[in-house]
Amino acid sequence: MGKKGNNGRSIARGPNETMRIIVTLITGTVFGFFVGVSFIMLAMSKQFPSSFATQALIQDAWSSVMGLNTSITNQFQLNGTTKIWATTNPRGAERLPPGIVASESDLYLRKLVGKPSEDLTIRPKYLVTFTVGIKQKTNIDAAVKKFSENFTILLFHYDGRTTEWDEFEWSKRAIHVSAQKQTKWWYAKRFLHPDIVAQYDYIFIWDEDLGVENFNAEEYIRLVKKHGLEISQPALQQNGKIIWQMTRRRDDQEVHKETEEKAGYCTEPHVPPCAAFLEIMAPVYSRNAWRCVWYMIQNDLVHGWGLDFSMRRCVEPAHEKMGVVDAQWVVHQSVPSLGDQGEAQNGTTAWRAVRLRCRQEWTTFHNRLKSAEKRYYNNLGMDLPVSKSRYYG
């Protein structure tokens, strides 16, 4: 994944050195084996006739020679076999002793030499990703500079151009993922698995066309924590027309969690698009909220349309845990970007073809969600509860 760093080649050794290492290993192993076995046999022949006890003794003796602690694994051997089967391990890893299972990882860049414990001088607690094309280089440079060393920077490149970014100092500590003409949600599903980003308290999954002049990331996090927001976004100052009132910036408060919409949009105050609702251009998720949203992202629906109305399913109560940060706001510049990377089809422009797919995906997502929810309630012998929102999601 990381473009930088180790390119995967193993470290070359001369044939003589390799041979020497192999000979040393073999000699050592054979010697050690005989010493161990003769010691164990001697001890056993004196005291333990039963074969089960023998096996346990061999294990214990072997472990104490090797400095291992068997009591961790022994508790999982109660079903009559001596093979490990630890159901507390993640699915597929049951044969491993639980003490060695590393079920989560991180995106921290490590060194090739020295002690692993000295690899990291800082463990960033936040992650920010931008899905970028080289045309937005200047804007992204300005945006990244708003995020301190407490953030891991991850760029998803949709235009295949990655080397040009190296002119920026920060690019060397960033992680670059390149896959041509893919969308933000495609990358997020593939590269931001909750077990991989588990180290981060907050995850920013941002578009490339945001103006960040009035944005301070550390201050944003402080406000999000203060107001208990699990899913949030900075308020928007739109260059074009505002689509949803919820994300519009207000200058009289730090954070808002609800809004008024045009007549008829909201049947009650706590449902989208009047509350429990954010757009998908600059979302920020807490670790727990992201663990849920990641599972909701569909593998084939790459534009993420419809997610805005559904994210509320991941936090409870959504109208209190989702909100817009007014004090730290961004400008939505609406520059053409990935939308231009489509292909003209059936006589429509590239941009329109992308937009068409977005709308179709929205419908598909909506239908999938609805029938899944219906099936769930039907299995319980219930009808689908009546949605209080005009906008299903």
Residues of the shown chain interacting with ligand NAG in the complex, contacts defined by CB under 6 A: 69, 71-72, 79, 81, 83, 85, 148, 150, 218, 345-346
Question: Can you state the angle between helices 51-66 and 15-47, rounded to 10 degrees?
Answer: 140
Judged by CB, which is closer to ligand NAG: 359, or 390? 359
CB of 125 to ligand NAG, least distance (A): 7
Cβ proximity to ligand NAG: between 81 and 117 the closer is 81
Q: Compute the residue count for the chain.
A: 393
Instruction: Report the residue number, 105 or 345, with the smaller CB distance to ligand NAG.
Output: 345
Q: Using alpha carbons, select from 258, 366, 276, 365 the residue that is nearest to residue 313.
A: 276
Residue 204 near residue 144 (C-beta atoms within 8 A): no
CA-to-CA separations, 87 to 58, 78, 194, 251, in angstroms, rounded: 25, 12, 21, 53
Strand 175-178, strand 255-256: pairing? unpaired
Q: Is the Cβ of residue 195 or residue 218 nearer to ligand NAG in the bound state?
A: 218
Question: What are the structure tokens assigned to 374, written together?
Answer: 């219906």
Cβ atoms of residues 185 and 294 within 8 Å: no
Smaller CB distance to ligand NAG: residue 6 or 69? 69
User: Closest distance between ligand NAG and the C-beta of residue 342, in Å?
Assistant: 11
CB 340, min distance to ligand NAG, A: 17
- Distance, CA of 337 to CA of 184 (rounded, Å): 12
Considering the complex, what minimum distance in angstroms separates the CB of residue 200 from ligand NAG? 13
Judged by beta carbon, residue 72 or residue 382, the one nearer ligand NAG is 72
Least distance between ligand NAG and beta carbon 41 (Å): 25
Give min distance, CB of 294 to ligand NAG, in A: 25
Q: How far is the CB of 239 from ligand NAG (least distance, A)?
A: 29
Measured from the Cβ of residue 376, the count of other Cβ atoms closer than 10 Å reads 11
Query: Beta strands of 117-273 (E only): which ranges?
Result: 126-132, 151-157, 175-178, 202-206, 210-211, 231-238, 255-256
Distance CA 344, CA 353 (A): 6
Report the nearest approach of ligand NAG to the CB of residue 71 (Å). Answer: 4
Closest approach of Cβ 276 to ligand NAG, in Å?
30
Q: Which residues contact 339 (CB under 8 A, 6 or more apart)?
A: 350, 351, 354, 355
Under DSSP, is residue 12 helix (H, G, I), strand (E, B) or coil? coil
Q: What are the respective helix, strand and coil percentages of the chain, to the nearest 5?
A: 40, 15, 45
- 154, 249 in Cβ contact below 8 A? no
CA distance 146 to 143: 5
Of the two residues 248 and 357, which places its CB atom closer to ligand NAG in the complex? 357
Q: Which CB sits closer to ligand NAG, 83 or 172?
A: 83
Decide whether 150 or 238 has the Cβ nearer to ligand NAG.
150
